[in-house]
Amino acid sequence: MQKYERTIGLKTIYLTLVRRTEAILALFIVLVGASFIVTNFMMGKQYTSTSVMANNAAITQPVYTLMQNNIKSDATIESVVKNLKTAKVTHTGGKDITASEIKSGLSFSAYASNMVQFTVSFKSSDAAIVQYTLEEVMNVSYDVLKPTYAGLSIYSPASAAVKTSKENTYLLVGVAASLVVALGVPFVWEIAEDTVYDKKEVEDWGAPAFELRASGK
């Protein structure tokens, strides 16, 4: 019995992909569909509001750090929670907004040399509370900071909630991964059995997908 082994080259790859086109397309469509379902229906949505606070003079790094600490301080956040409750601003389902979710949802723009304004952002999975919460955070923070920084002002009030683009990013990653898997799996399957044992098996292929070399007598 003559034993033959497949050797892989560019022609090998090309012919393998041609032979498995239908399988590649089918697998790719299934994986992209799964990625779409996961990113659009199973992943939690995030919504963001932004506001800008400005000063009439350059803000140094130490001062900016102090401002951030004041804005995210327990006293400030507790005041925000109390004011939101008084104004009857709650989650869509009626649940109260907590201090921990406000603190974890706040973020600040990076410090830049001699900057005179900075952005404060608040994100949440509930679009209904994002703008109102940040607006209250900015108002309370302004009242706290104004006595120390006379030139401070709210340059831009809290914006309407904007849906973040993370799910779109994840979908693109999913599509790229789907393409890699769809190309890889059929190819790996094709070459997994890399030994041909007789001429009949070669003839059954039609156009050979692999160059052959004799490995036995």
pLDDT for 153-169, tens place per residue?
Answer: 999 999 999 987 677 78
| pLDDT band, very low/low/confident/very high, at 17 (cuts 50, 70, 90) | confident
- In which order are the strands placed within the sheet that holds 211-214? 195-196, 4-7, 211-214
Region(s) of the chain under CATH 3.30.70: 47-163
Give me the mean pLDDT over the 93-98 stretch: 94
Whether pLDDT at 132 is above 70: yes
The CATH code that applies to domain 47-163 is 3.30.70
With 0.75 as the threshold, say if the pTM is over it. Answer: no
Q: Which residue has the tokens 């992909």?
A: 17
Residue 199 has pLDDT above 60, yes or no: no
C-alpha to C-alpha distance for 109 and 76, rounded to whole angstroms: 19
The whole-number pLDDT of residue 188 equals 75
Kindly report the number of other CB atoms within 10 A of residue 189's CB atom.
12
Distance between CA atoms of 170 and 149, rounded to whole angstroms?
A: 42
